[in-house]
Structure 1
Amino acid sequence: MGSPARRRFAGAVPAGLVATLLVGLLSGCSDGAAAPAATASASPKPSLPVAPGGTFGYAAARETDPDPLTLNEIFGRSRFKSKGRSYKMTVREMEKKDCKNAVTGEKLQKALKAAGCNQLARASFHDAKGTVIGTVGVANLKTSKGAKSVAGAGAGKERKDYLKPLAGDDDHTKELGDGEAYAGGWTHGHYAILLWFQFKDGHEPKKAELKRLYQAAVDITDATVFPALDTRSVRGGRG
């Protein structure tokens, strides 16, 4: 099981979106009329909500992004394309409370528990020909620090801690877990994105073939997981 290449931290909060959100809040509170003069008996006014700073905004911690994930939110697209490459989702499920059942390896299980995992969503996909198959998992942790610990658990030349592949009932993803794979993890704020990607026939991927597995992982998460987490960075999962 090869160790993963490190992906960029996808989903930084665009400064323009945060600015637009704050401008909208401010403009919605003013109709152009002059503000009334303050008096000693006036009740204090609540301050306007301000989005947290930093790369991940609200999604930096569960405290500012408390709403639970849903499968429709992060894995709502069953078919999609990325630069001409087609993919299909075949199965999905949500592990609640005891996230350890969705992973393999004591170190990763302990990291999930220490990070306060309360959800781990998984979905499996295949490419157009069914040659590349894989499972993507999203773990909901308390903090960004915890997410980094989970994503990095077990990293090394031989990874022994990894996302448990979720086999489907179709002719392609039913082979998940049978063979050698690219396994690893990325982060987005307090979420850890865990990966298992392999070839359907289970052969050990050569260096050039690892790029193909990695590209599939990027294509799929860019079309599903990261847009949803980008929204949480700006809105805190509140629609």
Structure 2
Amino acid sequence: MSEMGYVDAEERERKPSRRRRPARGSNRNLLIIGGAAVVVLIVVVVIAMVTMGGGDDKKGQAAAAARVTPKVYVNTPANSLVNKLNERSKDKRPLNKSEVFGDDAKSVSHGNYHFTLVGSQLSDCASVTWGQELQNDLRKYGCTQVARGAYVSQDKKYLGQFVAMNLEQLQGAEQVVRDLDPNSKAGFVSPLAAQGAENFGSGFSAAYSQSFGHYVVISWVERAGGAQPQTMNELLDASIAIERADDFVWERLVLAGG
């Protein structure tokens, strides 16, 4: 566990996707299985972070919406099951919006968390990210596309953002995952504003990231309104639902002969 209360990546080694792997909840539940002591420590750190992270400068709604970061950020080592996607040269076709946010991604669920896609966008990398260091690395490592989808839970209690970044190779994807850690102060990706999710990220949120070959995938969630959750398990389970939009990666792996 890092200084900010993030769980070490080794504790969260994920398993393959729905079509190629067993139940997806088991990977992140390693955060919970670690025992009551770990959960208590996370809650204590979360409370401290919320207390310290209160009101920075208020430069207007637009700037605040564009430059927000999660209060909790967890990254996991690159998924070795998709090694055939480590180089974009073997996966040349650009992403398209209907591929990433097709029928399977319009409604995503995990346990009691059910989300509906309310907006999606495929953009260049510079226009939807901020932070000089992050943007320098995105250029250096050949980022060509960022796909973003905004989700609202059916009960309107949770919001989610799914992000996929298309880089040239695994090395660059791993560097971007490190850059996205708020501790690095390198920058972050701006959430997609959509109906019902206009102010995403302005309160307490958690983001979970991982490299899948030359792609970076982020599942970013919060309670509607940004309130602090009673336990991190809430956002953990919600994030697993949002992560189900990563099926395009596994389809790409099949096409690459994986």
TM-score if structure 2 supplies the norm length?
A: 0.64
Name the counterpart of 1:177: 201
Q: How many angstroms apart in 2 are the aligned matches of 1:10 and 1:190?
A: 18
Name the counterpart of 2:152: 126
Secondary structure of 1:228's partner? helix
CA drift of 1:156 comes to 5.1
Distance 1:134 1:153, change over 3 A: same
Please list the CA deviations of residues 43-75 of structure 1 after superposition, one character each: whole Å capped at 9, or x if unmatched.
xxxxxxxxxxx7314312101111111111121
Distance 1:175 1:110, change over 3 A: same
| Alignment size in residue pairs | 190
Name the counterpart of 2:123: 95
Secondary structure of 1:101's partner? coil
Retained in 1: the 8 A contact 2:128–2:190?
yes
Retained in 2: the 8 A contact 1:3–1:183?
no
1:216 equivalenced with 2:243 (yes/no):
no
1:8 equivalenced with 2:8 (yes/no):
no
CA drift of 1:105 comes to 2.3
Q: Percent identity?
A: 22
CA drift of 1:130 comes to 1.6
Distance 1:55 1:183, change over 3 A: closer
Please list the CA deviations of residues 93-117 of structure 1 after superposition, one character each: whole Å capped at 9, or x if unmatched.
0113xx0221232222222111100
Q: How many angstroms apart in 2 are the aligned matches of 1:204 and 1:110?
A: 33
Distance 1:194 1:109, change over 3 A: farther
CA drift of 1:160 comes to 6.0
Q: How many angstroms apart in 1 are the aligned matches of 2:190 and 2:213?
A: 22
The structure with more radius of gyration = 1
Retained in 2: the 8 A contact 1:175–1:200?
no
Q: How many angstroms apart in 1 are the aligned matches of 2:92 and 2:198?
A: 34
How does 1:74-113 map onto structure 2 within 5 Å? 74-76=100-102, 77-96=105-124, 99-113=125-139
Name the counterpart of 1:37: none
Q: How many angstroms apart in 1 are the aligned matches of 2:250 and 2:214?
A: 12
Retained in 1: the 8 A contact 2:110–2:237?
no
